[in-house]
């Protein structure tokens, strides 16, 4: 190349570089990334919360929560302690604890070993009425306190004067006769084992619990809905309670409501018999054999009226042997006590064939229509666990004890020896 050409080229290159620089263009760098290669993106850094702002927000949340809890706590405390109830205005309010609020009546044993009747009330209904009268504001909170305080058993039916300055405890304490009020008179009554409903009614009337008429009417027609073992469809007949008025010593109100006395005895039956853990499996076994509760109590009532106190299991075996086998009695139980129940008096020889009643077990096979008395726990246990014997007959001996026989021939010999 000639010198002139080199000079010319150099001059052109310089001008071209200046032109490209002026226009924003540049020559490709020899160390640039190959075409098509992705450029790495830089990660954006997360902005951190200002620590001072975080502390401020935390303080605000704690403060607001504290204010909410303090406000709620104050409202509950105001209602519980009656700090500013009714705007601080004192007002007396007549409040009635209704009979319909009774939830259940149970028989419990106190520290002295005595049986007493305890009535439990539905505190939801009580709380609702208190709120309606303006005596409380928060039903749920009153119910919670009543649960801890056992308020459901501390109130009594009646009309009371309450006021807007009473706290929860005072409200419950004043929903029962106070020490300045005339206390309701009570009486202890012992129901012996083997008493019929009619005899129990007479006994209650003698002790002032109620009149024979009111007690009989209640036994016959009151619907005892809390006790499903009572036949509430057979109204008009007091014998529907037969067998379920548990023999025991009770504390009844003098002149009280008749149904409360019966509920106390029915509740005791449920507690001592149906809720008795030792009898559960025996009842299940009896049910499997075809003997439900009513039949077991029926059998127990027969045992109770026939026993001398020491032979329940053997008498039970005689009843089962006659019920389940034709034998020499042809399914006839032939029990005098049931005939006496039908007659309502001492029986005569003519009654055996002449008294036409389903309770005459000399004429009718099987069990009587209902139990004939109210048996105790020992007779119920014997009905559930009869002795294993082949006895079909028994007769009372000269010493008052029963003599048992397997055959009619043996029974007749015993009668001859006794001069019968």
> 330-344, pLDDT tens digit by residue?
999 999 999 999 999
Of 169, 178, 173, nearest in space to 82 by CA: 169
Q: Phi then psi for 231, rounded to 5 degrees?
A: -80, 100
pLDDT range class, residue 78, cuts 50, 70, 90 = low
Q: How large a percentage of the chain has pLDDT more than 90? A: 55
Q: Phi then psi for 221, rounded to 5 degrees?
A: -125, -10
pLDDT of residue 23: 54
pLDDT of residue 165: 79
* Helix (H/G/I), strand (E/B), else coil: 147: helix
pLDDT range class, residue 307, cuts 50, 70, 90 = very high
Query: Taking CA 71 as the corner, what is the angle to CA 69 and CA 77, rounded to the nearest 5 degrees?
Result: 95
pTM summary value: 0.63
Q: Which range has the worst mean pLDDT, 132-141, 266-275, 297-306, 351-360?
A: 132-141
Contact 160/175 with Cβ under 8 angstroms? yes
Q: State the CB neighbour count (10 A cutoff) for residue 246.
A: 25
254 CB contacts (<8 Å, ≥6 apart)?
184, 185, 186, 187, 207, 208, 209
Mean per-residue pLDDT of the chain: 84
Q: At residue 244, does pLDDT exceed 90?
A: yes
143 CB contacts (<8 Å, ≥6 apart)?
123, 124, 127
Strands (E), 212-322: 249-253
Instruction: Please state, in angstroms and rounded to a whole number, the distance separating the CA atoms of residues 71 and 1.
Output: 102
Average confidence (pLDDT) over 106-117 = 75
Distance of CA 350 to the CA centre of its chain: 50
DSSP state at residue 185: P
Instruction: Please state, in angstroms and rounded to a whole number, the distance separating the CA atoms of residues 73 and 65.
Output: 12
pLDDT range class, residue 81, cuts 50, 70, 90 = confident
Average confidence (pLDDT) over 243-267 = 90
120 CB contacts (<8 Å, ≥6 apart)?
102, 103, 104, 105, 106, 152, 153
pLDDT of residue 28: 47
DSSP string, 186-209: EEEEE--TT--HHHHHHHHHHTTS
Residue spans per domain, the chain? 87-173, 186-274, 290-418
The CATH code of domain 87-173 reads 3.30.1490
Beta-bridged to residue 105, according to DSSP, are 119
């Amino acid at each position: 190349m000639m010198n002139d050409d080199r000079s010319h080229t150099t001059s052109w290159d310089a001008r071209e570089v200046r032109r490209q620089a002026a226009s924003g263009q540049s020559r490709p760098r020899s160390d640039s990334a190959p075409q098509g290669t992705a450029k790495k993106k830089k990660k954006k850094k997360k902005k951190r919360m200002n620590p001072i702002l975080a502390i401020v927000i935390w303080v605000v949340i704690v403060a607001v929560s504290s204010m909410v809890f303090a406000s709620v706590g104050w409202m509950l405390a105001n209602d519980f302690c009656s700090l500013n109830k009714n705007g601080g205005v004192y007002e007396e309010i007549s409040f009635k604890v209704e009979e319909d609020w009774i939830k259940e009546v149970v028989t419990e044993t106190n520290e002295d070993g005595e049986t007493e009747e305890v009535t439990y009330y539905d505190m939801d209904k009580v709380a609702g009425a208190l709120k309606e009268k303006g005596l409380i504001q928060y039903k749920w909170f009153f119910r919670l306190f009543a649960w801890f305080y056992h308020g459901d058993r501390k109130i009594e039916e009646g009309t009371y004067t309450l006021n807007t300055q009473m706290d929860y405890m005072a409200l419950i304490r004043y929903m029962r006769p106070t020490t300045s009020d005339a206390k309701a008179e009570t009486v202890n009554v012992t129901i012996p084992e083997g008493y019929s409903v009619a005899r129990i009614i007479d006994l209650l009337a003698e002790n002032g619990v109620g009149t024979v008429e009111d007690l009989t009417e209640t036994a016959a027609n009151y619907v005892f809905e809390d006790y499903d073992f009572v036949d509430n469809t057979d109204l008009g007949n007091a014998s529907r309670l037969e067998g379920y008025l548990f023999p025991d010593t009770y504390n009844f109100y003098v002149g009280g409501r008749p149904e409360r006395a019966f509920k106390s005895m029915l509740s005791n039956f449920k507690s001592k018999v149906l809720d008795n853990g030792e009898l559960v499996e025996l009842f299940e076994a009896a049910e499997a054999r075809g003997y439900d509760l009513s039949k077991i109590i029926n059998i127990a009532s027969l045992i109770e009226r026939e026993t001398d106190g020491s032979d329940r299991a053997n008498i039970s075996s005689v009843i089962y042997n006659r019920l389940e086998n034709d034998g020499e009695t042809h399914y006839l139980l032939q029990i005098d006590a049931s005939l006496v129940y039908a007659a309502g008096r001492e029986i005569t020889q003519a009654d055996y064939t002449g008294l036409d009643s389903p309770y005459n077990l000399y004429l009718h096979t099987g069990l009587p229509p209902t139990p004939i008395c109210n048996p105790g726990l020992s007779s119920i246990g014997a009905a559930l666990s009869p002795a294993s014997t082949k006895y079909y007959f028994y007769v009372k001996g000269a010493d008052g004890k029963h003599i048992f026989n397997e055959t009619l021939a043996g029974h007749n010999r015993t009668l001859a020896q006794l001069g019968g």
